[in-house]
Amino acid sequence: MTSPKYQPGGVQPGGFERLQGIAIGGVLLAVGLGICVVTFGTGTLPGQDSLGPRLFPVLIGGGLMILGLANAWAGWRTLREGALHEGALIPVSDAENVAEPGDWPTLLWVVAGLCVGALGYKTLGFIPSAWLVFILTARGFAARWNWKHALVGLIVVLIAFFGFTKGLGLPLPTGIFASILGGK
């Protein structure tokens, strides 16, 4: 049996991943605290039972705070164990499993598409805004503009629009095409 090859390793995930447990714990703690604070700031109605609508929010907020602390504790332990092994040699086969960096530009194109779609849903109408969602999402995934994607997107959006409005009788905003398609 051949011995495995080694290379310098240590804490495998980089940057934010190292702190994720602590960060998630912090977010849960803050949300739990926020729920408790808002709940205690809400007055009770006269004649309400002593538990009323405040009990569950307090229980859930309290639970989130405990879980936040537990997540942060687990994250801190992982961080400490990672630091202990920093600089140690890890098998090359394991090094291949190190998380690849994420593809932020693609993600941003997709999120931007949805933001544009939500912004224009009422004002521009369903057809242009949904088409923009499709085009920007396709642009993100394909990493380039492609007129064929735009054409397919237009067909999908038109089928969806007429299928839902004429076929199923569901109203969708017509926006800038209100004068042609009716509705608003």
Partner 1 sequence: MDTLSGLMQGFAIAFTPVNLLWSLLGVTLGTAIGVLPGIGPALTIALLLPVTYHLDPTAAFIIFGGIYYGAMYGSSTTSILLNVPGETGSIVTAIDGHMMAKKGRAAAALATAAIGSFVAGTIATVGLSFLSPIMVRIALLFGPAEYFSLMVLAFVTVSALLGSSILRGMSALFVGLAIGLIGIDTQTGQARFTFGQLPLLDGIDVVVVAVGLFALGEAFHVAFREARRPEELSRVVGSLWMSKSDWARSWKPWLRGTALGFPLGSLPAGGTEIPTFLSYLIEKRLAKKPEEFGQGAIEAVAGPEAANNAAVAGVLVPLLSFGLPTSATAAILLAAFQQYGIQPGPMLFSSNSTLVWALIASLYLGNLMLLVLNLPLVGLWAKLLLIPRPLLYGGILVLSMLGVYSLNNSVFDLWLLLGIGLVGFAMRQFEYPVAPLVVGLILGPMAEEQFRRAYAIAQGDVSVFFTHPISALLLAIAAACVIGPYLLRRRKAARG
Contacts to partner 1 by CB under 8 A:
20, 24, 28, 31-32, 35, 38-39, 42, 45, 48-53, 55-57, 60-61, 63-64, 67, 70-71, 74, 100, 102-104, 106-107, 109-111, 113-115, 117-118, 121-122, 126, 130, 133-135, 137-143, 146, 149, 152-153, 156-157, 160, 164, 168-172
Question: In this structure, what DSSP letter does residue 164 have?
Answer: I
Q: What is the smallest separation between the CB atom of 147 and partner 1, expressed in angstroms?
A: 12
Least Å from the CB of residue 182 to partner 1: 16
- Count other Cβ atoms within 10 Å, centred on residue 163: 11
Q: Sign (positive/negative) of CA torsion 12, 13, 16, 21? A: negative
Q: Which is nearer to partner 1, 88 or 108 (CB)?
A: 108
Closest CB to partner 1 among residues 88, 151: 151
Of 88 and 142, nearer to partner 1 (C-beta) is: 142
In the complex, what is the shortest distance from the CB of residue 3 to partner 1, in angstroms, rounded to a whole number?
A: 25
Q: Which of 39, 76, 42, 43 is nearest to 61 (CA)?
A: 39
Amino acid (1-letter code) at residue 61: G
Q: How far is the CB of 45 from partner 1 (least distance, A)?
A: 6
Alpha-carbon distance of 123 to 113, in angstroms, equals 16
Shortest CB 89 distance to partner 1, Å: 27
Comparing CB distances to partner 1, the nearer of 1 and 99 is 99
CB of 156 to partner 1, least distance (A): 5
Query: Does an H or E element contain 6, and which?
Result: strand 6-8
CA distance 177 to 114: 21
Centre a 10 Å sphere on the Cβ of residue 18 and count the other Cβ atoms it contains: 17
**66 versus 88: smaller Cβ distance to partner 1:** 66
Taking the least distance from each CB to partner 1, the nearer of 8 and 145 is 145
Q: Which helix (H) or strand (E) holds 7?
A: strand 6-8
Neighbours of 125 (CB within 10 A): 21
Give the containing element (helix H, strand E) for 48.
none
